[in-house]
Amino acid sequence: MSGAAEGDDNGKTAVCARTMTVFIIRRLLQSLGVLLATSVIVFLGVFAIGNPADILIAADATQAERQAAIVALGLDRPLVEQYWIFLTNALQGDLGRSFVFNQPAIGLILARLPATLELAFIALLIALIAGIPLGLIAGLKPQSLVDETIMTGSILGFSLPNFWQGMMLIMIFSVWLGWLPAGGRGDTTQFLGVTTSLLNWDGIAHLILPATNLALFNLALVIRLTRTGVREIMPLDFIKFARAKGLTERRIVLVHVLKNIMIPVVTVVGMEFGSIIAFAVVTETIFSWPGIGKLLIDSIMLLDRPVVVSYLLVVVFMFIVINLLVDIAYSLLDPRIRLRDAQ
Amino acid sequence: MNALPTRWRLSPDSTLSRAIDGIITSPKAAIGAVVTILLVLVAVFGPWLAPQNPYDLGAIDFFDARLPPLSPSMNGSIYLLGTDGQGRDMLSAMIYGLRTSIAVGLLAGIVALVVGTALGLVAAYVGGRVDALVMRLVDLMLGLPAILVALMLLALLGQGVWKVILALVLVQWAQFARAVRAAALVERNKEYVEAAVSLGLSRPRILFGHMLPNCLPPIIVVGTLQVASAISAEATLSFLGIGLPITEPSLGLLIANGYKVLLSGQYWISVYPGLLLLVLVFSINVVGDRLREVFNPRFLGR
């Protein structure tokens, strides 16, 4: 199969394309399975554990209204049939109406999604920009004082409770120093149809603390991944060869080592993007960031179940899509993975 | 380990002594272990150590509310770390919160360990369809972010101590199952298992009497790190208001109380419980990190 990489053999290329297609179809089916399983769990959670009539009908409804609503919602039908209705509605983008906002729940989620995505994306960027150099430094001087300090710092990064660390950021930079705002999103700008905080200073000032808060855990992760990668690559022959060729240490590290650690780092971090969106719940709560995470917590507190259900399905869906894309990208880069999976 | 499986090698003592050796030889891990043990002792003997019972309404005085650290109380004693919004001594509230946090984290960690280890061992030994099913479940659980699964469960079930523990177990068992399965797959092909099979020992006895002791290293490492992560996760869920109820205040809930007054400068209500939580989780993680170095990392399934 290795010959297919050169693309000079038509037969082999065709086989390769076929394994690739098989791989993608298998992964798609698996993803659909996970999504279906999630929908069953969420459905059962809402419709079987609590009394769905209490959850879906406003508390101030009269007995007659209540009865009419039960029939209208199909709550008098068998559970399997109810699940089928829930599923077909969900596939048409109808996940119920929010009690609090009296709007389609899915619309509420989608309206707040860009704010969360922006926050998560900037957090990821901070983690990469700060984490890779720190991991490089630690990995190039193993067991040194610098390495020990950076690695202990990364354990600290894992151990810092995210919500408390965010509160300390507010306390230090907003309350004591007064440099940055403590919460909210600030001014946003419309750019090419996207609402963003990045194009004016007020928006950026509001973004710094929450993005730092969200980045810290992944910063620790990137440091560890980079350090491990450096330590694995440095003893390899091609590094020795590069040294023998007379390349500067600087060029070896910045070009050859960095290029080789980027694949695992980007893969793992790509998969972490889903976790970042999930963890944004905490950050958005602390910094009153108007994204889907804050909407979720508010909705849980107000018992706005359709919004909770929509959040869970949308985030799991996003998560599955991200994993699928990372898997496909990775299998394009590394043929061993799709071969193992296709067999 | 490929040499003759003598009795002492099979006993868990050798694993334990290796763990202790590893911790003692690293100053960082030794400090972490000492701090962890001290905090557990404080939690166990909390009611005798705390200056005040923070949940005895007769003992707290509302006029003492939100006093900064080192303030004298109405009856002359000193509030070392100040008081909270209800006039509770922060130090006492923290000691009681520490009890709840450690109890919930430890209980969740132990249940996840038992469930995950049993499933991992059985999956590795039986193989075939059972193995495939368990590993599919493990992949599913590890594929979703832990916080999302816990949020999903608690959003649907509502809050409560046992629900939080259930949610934590649900997100953590898979880590144990994966690590134990990887170790057990290596053990299964060793001679002592073959010998046990030919001696006609029962399956449970081979699994839990003979293979389990040899799978201890990954269990200890994952267990240590998972207890730390359980404590941290519980604090996060309680902070979000979907974890423990107000009747069982953990450190996370104390910090949440302080969040409301943070902007008015009353920092001590959230800073000190947070520091305590950080020291606890950090100490356990430092020990776990050292244990991971000591034991062969290839057992950890990566």
- The interface residues of chain B toward chain A in range 140-199, judged by CB-CB distance below 8 A, are 140, 143-145, 147-148, 151-153, 155-157
Q: Which is more confidently placed, B159 or B30?
A: B30
- State the DSSP H helix or E strand holding residue A319, giving kind and residue range, or none if neither: helix A305-333
Say whether residue B286 is in contact with chain A using an 8 A CB cutoff. Answer: yes
What's the pLDDT at B1? 44
What does each C-alpha distance from A242 to A139, A227, A231, A249, B53 come to in angstroms?
Answer: 18, 20, 16, 9, 68
Q: Tell me the nearest-neighbour CA distance from B15 into chain A, angstroms.
A: 24
Q: Measured between beta carbons, which residues in chain A are less than 8 angstroms from residue B286? A: 152, 155
Q: Measured between beta carbons, which residues in chain A are less than 8 angstroms from residue B276? A: none
Residue A9 confidence (pLDDT) above 50 = yes
Task: Report the half-sphere exposure of A337 (CA within 13 A, side-chain side).
Answer: 12
Residue A1 confidence (pLDDT) above 50 = no
A34, A156, A175 ranked by CB distance to B140: nearest: A34
- The DSSP-derived string for A71-121 is HHHTTTS-HHHHHHHHHHHHHTT---B-TTT-SBHHHHHHHHHHHHHHHHH
Residue A48 confidence (pLDDT) above 60 = no
Query: Residue A51 carries which DSSP code?
Result: -
Would you say B270 and A164 are in contact if contact means Cβ atoms under 8 Å apart?
yes
**pLDDT digits 0-9 by tens, B131-158:** 888 888 887 787 777 887 888 788 777 7
**pLDDT digits 0-9 by tens, B102-138:** 999 999 999 999 999 999 999 888 888 888 888 888 8
Would you say B122 and A289 are in contact if contact means Cβ atoms under 8 Å apart?
no
Mean pLDDT of B213-224: 86
Residue B82 confidence (pLDDT) above 50 = yes
Query: Residue A343 carries which DSSP code?
Result: -
What's the pLDDT at B299? 38
Select, from the ranges B60-74, B219-233, B234-248, the one with the highest average predicted confidence (pLDDT).
Answer: B219-233
Mutate to test the interface with B, among A34, A163, A217, A309 (most CBs of B within 10 A): A163
A152, A155, A282 ranked by CB distance to B240: nearest: A282
Q: Model pTM? A: 0.80
Which two structure tokens, joined as six digits, stand for A81? Answer: 């049939």
Classify B69 in phi/psi space as left (phi over 0), alpha (psi -120 to 50) or beta: beta
pLDDT-derived band of residue B76, with 50, 70 and 90 as boundaries? low
Residue B209 confidence (pLDDT) above 90 = no
Mean pLDDT of A120-127: 90
- State the DSSP H helix or E strand holding residue A190, giving kind and residue range, or none if neither: strand A189-191
pLDDT-derived band of residue B284, with 50, 70 and 90 as boundaries? very high
Would you say A140 and A254 are in contact if contact means Cβ atoms under 8 Å apart?
no
Would you say A170 and A288 are in contact if contact means Cβ atoms under 8 Å apart?
no
Q: Measured between beta carbons, which residues in chain B are less than 8 angstroms from residue A30? A: none
What's the pLDDT at B46? 77
Q: Tell me the nearest-neighbour CA distance from B199 into chain A, angstroms.
A: 37
Q: Taking CB atoms and an 8 Å limit, are B255 and A163 in contact across chains?
A: yes
What's the pLDDT at B105? 92
Q: Measured between beta carbons, which residues in chain B are less than 8 angstroms from residue A308? A: 155-156
Rounded Cα distance between B234 and B229, Å, is: 8
**Residues 6 or more apart whose Cβ sits within 8 Å of residue A180:** A173, A174, A205, A206, A208, A209
Rounded Cα distance between A264 and B79, Å, is: 51
Q: How many CB atoms lie within 10 A of CB B281?
A: 27
Which two structure tokens, joined as six digits, stand for B123? Answer: 């999956």
A50, A159, A174 ranked by CB distance to B282: nearest: A159
Q: Taking CB atoms and an 8 Å limit, are A159 and B252 in contact across chains?
A: no
Chain A residues in contact with chain B using a Cβ-Cβ cutoff of 8 Å? 34, 37, 41-42, 45-46, 49-50, 152, 155-156, 158-164, 167-168, 170-171, 174-175, 182, 274-275, 278-279, 281-282, 285-286, 296-297, 300-301, 308, 312, 315-316, 319, 323
Rounded Cα distance between A300 and A285, Å, is: 12
Nearest CA in chain A to B259: A167
**pLDDT digits 0-9 by tens, A318-335:** 888 887 887 777 777 666
What's the pLDDT at B38? 92
Rounded to a whole number of angstroms, the distance between the first and last alpha carbons of chain A is 13
Mutate to test the interface with B, among A51, A156, A159, A168 (most CBs of B within 10 A): A159
Rounded to a whole number of angstroms, the distance between the first and last alpha carbons of chain B is 20
What's the pLDDT at B108? 93
Mean pLDDT of A155-177: 84
- The DSSP-derived string for chain B is --S---HHHHSHHHHHHHHHHHHHH-HHHHHHHHHHHHHHHHHHTHHHHSSS-TT-TTT--GGGTTPPTTEE-TTS-EETT-B-TTS-BHHHHHHHHHHHHHHHHHHHHHHHHHHHHHHHHHHHHH-HHHHHHHHHHHHHHHHS-HHHHHHHHHHHH---HHHHHHHHHHHHHHHHHHHHHHHHHHHHTSHHHHHHHHTT--HHIIIIIIIHHHTHHHHHHHHHHHHHHHHHHHHHHHHTTSSS-TTS--HHHHHHHHHHHHTTT-THHHHHHHHHHHHHHHHHHHHHHHHHHHS-GGGGT-
Residue B298 confidence (pLDDT) above 50 = no
- Nearest CA-CA partner of B237 in A163, A215, A157: A163
Q: Taking CB atoms and an 8 Å limit, are A161 and B235 in contact across chains?
A: yes
Q: What is the pLDDT of chain B when averaged over all its residues? A: 81
